[in-house]
Amino acid sequence: MHVVATAGHVDHGKSTLVRALTGMEPDRLDEERRRGLTIQLGYAWTALPSGERLAFVDVPGHERFLATMLAGVGPVPAVMFVVAADEGWMPQSEEHLVALEALGVRHCLLVVTRSDLAGPAGAVEQARPRLDAAGIGGVEAVTVSGRTGQGLPELRQALDRLVSGLPRPDPAAEVRLWVDRAFSVTGSGTVITGTLPAGTVSVGDELLLAGEPVRVRGLESLKEPRDTVSGVARVAVNLRGHDVSGRGEALVTPGGWTYTDLIDVSVRPAGAPRHESAGLPRRLTVHVGSAAVAAEARHLGGSVVRLRLARPLPLHLGDVLLLRDPGRDRSEVRVLAGASVLDVRPPALGRRGAARRRAALLEAALLETAVPGMAYALRLHRLLRAVDLRAMGVPPDAPGTSGEWYADPGHWKELGRRLVEEVRRYAAGHPLEPAMPVEAARHRLGLPDRRLVTSLVRPPLALHAGRIVAGPAGLPEPVARAVERLRRDLAARPFQAPDAGRLAGLGLGPRELAAAERAGSLLRVAEGIVLLPGADVRAAALLSRLPQPFTVSQARHALATTRRVVVPLLEHLDRAGLTERLDEVHRRCR
Main-chain phi, psi angles of 53, to 5 degrees: -95, 135
For residue 560, give its domain range.
534-589
**Model confidence band, residue 57 (pLDDT cutoffs 50, 70, 90):** confident
* Backbone φ/ψ region at 586: left (φ over 0), alpha (ψ -120 to 50), beta: beta
- 208/274 same-domain check: no
- 268/373 same-domain check: yes
What is the CA angle 226-227-231, rounded to 5?
Answer: 75
The mean-pLDDT minimum among 254-263, 273-282, 495-504 falls in 273-282
Average pLDDT over residues 214-222: 94
pLDDT at 28 over 70: no
Residues, the chain: 590
- 196/150 same-domain check: no
88 lies in some domain:
yes
pLDDT at 339 over 60: yes
pLDDT at 564 over 90: yes
pLDDT of residue 252: 96
Q: Which residues contact 309 (CB under 8 A, 6 or more apart)?
A: 260, 261, 262, 263, 286, 293, 294, 295
Tens of pLDDT, residues 414-447: 999 999 999 888 887 876 666 789 999 999 999 9
pLDDT of residue 211: 86
pLDDT of residue 26: 65
Rounded Cα gap, residues 192 and 219, in angstroms: 10
pLDDT at 331 over 50: no
Specify the pTM: 0.77
482 lies in some domain:
no
pLDDT of residue 472: 53
Pairwise pLDDT comparison (272 vs 96), residue with the higher score:
96
Long-range contacts of 123-130 (CB under 8 A, 24+ apart): 123/83, 123/84, 123/85, 123/87, 123/88, 123/89, 126/83, 126/88, 126/89, 127/81, 127/83, 127/89, 127/93, 130/89, 130/93, 130/94, 130/97
pLDDT at 38 over 60: no
541 lies in some domain:
yes
**Residue (of 60, 62, 67, 46) closest to 14 by Cα position:** 60
Domain boundary among the residues 445, 470, 495 is at 470
What is the CA angle 498-501-504, rounded to 5?
Answer: 95
pLDDT at 329 over 70: no
* Backbone φ/ψ region at 71: left (φ over 0), alpha (ψ -120 to 50), beta: alpha
**Model confidence band, residue 276 (pLDDT cutoffs 50, 70, 90):** very low
pLDDT at 32 over 50: no
pLDDT of residue 214: 93
pLDDT of residue 448: 94
pLDDT at 226 over 60: yes
* Class of residue 397 by CB neighbours under 10 A (exposed 0-12, middle 13-18, buried 19+): exposed
Domain boundary among the residues 441, 470, 499 is at 470
- 100/112 same-domain check: yes
- 18/80 same-domain check: yes
pLDDT at 29 over 50: no
The mean-pLDDT minimum among 313-327, 435-449, 457-471 falls in 457-471
Domain boundary among the residues 131, 165, 199 is at 165
Are 517 and 524 in contact by the 8 Å Cβ rule? The answer is yes
Extended beta strands in 422-475, E state: 436-437, 461-464, 467-470
pLDDT of residue 301: 92
Pairwise pLDDT comparison (264 vs 465), residue with the higher score:
264
- 364/441 same-domain check: no
How many domains does the chain fold into? Answer: 5
Rounded Cα gap, residues 205 and 316, in angstroms: 21
Main-chain phi, psi angles of 21, to 5 degrees: -75, -35
Are 72 and 41 in contact by the 8 Å Cβ rule? The answer is yes
pLDDT of residue 76: 83
Report the chain's mean pLDDT, rounded to a whole number. Answer: 86
Pairwise pLDDT comparison (186 vs 343), residue with the higher score:
343
- 37/94 same-domain check: yes
Give strand pairing partners of 298. 306
